[in-house]
Structure 1
């Protein structure tokens, strides 16, 4: 197969200057969108929650819009490299995805998690998570300019689009889709796939923990009564 032309998988292929510690760090940071995608797929497979599915659907739509705009605008990247998925750089897909995720997540913390509790610890936790998400989005956006994959204009355009689409998709999900989640969860196909609606449960992790603990105690009592007979 010596005559076969090989091409790197651009989703995980990031170049940085040799010996540049900051460039190496930013190259790793720029893989955050891939980690987010893997996280979403894992959550959907194991939790099968309608809100997680719709959130991920919005991110896929965001990527489709980015791809369409790139092929319409057709603005080249500042430095052309071999093996890139697309030769066009306007707008930056990394920036657009990260700011879609960040804006949607911040709105989720503000409007969907506000009823969990009013404690100071809960407020500080939400603020810390929101700030962390925003900082990661900023770092990914900056990495695309630092590593010469995009210009500042391409990154800023992607950022603006990501924020607008993230806020818009959250509005659609929060006001239009969430009220019909119970009906969707009752569809036969959703029941077969065990797709569920947990939007009315304030703290799903605590709920699942207490449910599992209660069920485990009940089964232990039943097992003990059987052994005593």
Structure 2
């Protein structure tokens, strides 16, 4: 075993020029997909929102498509790149393109909080700005793959195109599932009930609605009495 060469965990291993600040930033941008996967799992577990689960399912389907395309096309990465694996299309570009486009479509067309749950009269404008910011961020990740010489411009553009296509297709599929009652049917299943799955984020701003419920509950509490005082009285 002493002669066995050491391996590197390629999932988070990124080559960059330590003397170049842009290269250093690009190396951090390369970790965005991993960070988003952690965010997906955290939000799904914490919120139990079916929309988040659907979005993640589409994201994994997009990754599966990238895996298949790379092994069909079999185009090598740039020669100055030290990594392994095929480069067409760019998986990073495809990942962030799907994420930005699907979430942007959700924010603009599907997320319609009722006036009582909307914290600002410019709520739609804020959602549009967020959608644009998502696309800018995705573009930065895509460009970083070219800057670090992990992909050619053609490979990155192909990845972006595949990601956008997956996002549009999956958004239409989920819209079909919603309009034909399949989401409601799935939420009525015993498994969904046990997992406490719900579908509130479409019609509610979860942060604002949660804060309003907390504020209403807080106002009902007697003033000048702490929760510890209330517990003491109950114990007596």
Q: Quick one: distance in 2 between partners of 1:120 and 1:217?
A: 25
Per the TM alignment, residue 2 of structure 1 is displaced from its structure 2 partner at its CA by 2.9
| Aligned-pair Cα RMSD in Å | 2.7
For residue 33 of structure 1, give the secondary structure of its aligned residue in structure 2: helix
Q: Quick one: distance in 1 between partners of 2:121 and 2:221?
A: 37
Provide structure 1 residue ranges, at least 5 long, that are not aligned to the other structure: none
2:52 matched residue in structure 1: 52
Sort the Cα spacing of 1:193 and 1:215 in 2 relative to 1 into closer, same or farther, 3 A.
farther
Normalising by structure 1, we get a TM-score of: 0.87
Q: Quick one: distance in 2 between partners of 1:2 and 1:18?
A: 31
Alignment pair present for 1:143 and 2:144: yes
2:90 matched residue in structure 1: 92
User: Following superposition of structure 1 onto structure 2, how do residues 116-131 of structure 1 map, counting pairs within 5 Å?
Assistant: 116=114, 121-131=122-132
Q: Give CA deviations for 1:136-156 in whole Å, capped at 9, x if unaligned.
A: 111111111111100111101
Sort the Cα spacing of 1:11 and 1:167 in 2 relative to 1 into closer, same or farther, 3 A.
same
2:133 matched residue in structure 1: 132
Equivalent residue in structure 1 for 2:187, among 185, 188, 210: 185
Per the TM alignment, residue 52 of structure 1 is displaced from its structure 2 partner at its CA by 0.4
Sort the Cα spacing of 1:29 and 1:148 in 2 relative to 1 into closer, same or farther, 3 A.
same
Alignment pair present for 1:108 and 2:106: yes
Q: Which moved more, 1:89-98 or 1:183-192?
A: 183-192
Alignment pair present for 1:13 and 2:13: yes
Provide structure 2 residue ranges, at least 5 long, that are not aligned to the other structure: none
Contact 2:111/2:201, CA 8 A, preserved across alignment: no
Aligned residue pairs, count: 227
Sort the Cα spacing of 1:97 and 1:225 in 2 relative to 1 into closer, same or farther, 3 A.
closer
For residue 122 of structure 2, give the secondary structure of its aligned residue in structure 1: helix
Contact 2:54/2:174, CA 8 A, preserved across alignment: yes
Contact 1:80/1:87, CA 8 A, preserved across alignment: no
For residue 37 of structure 1, give the secondary structure of its aligned residue in structure 2: helix
Sort the Cα spacing of 1:116 and 1:109 in 2 relative to 1 into closer, same or farther, 3 A.
farther
Q: Which moved more, 1:55-64 or 1:40-49?
A: 40-49
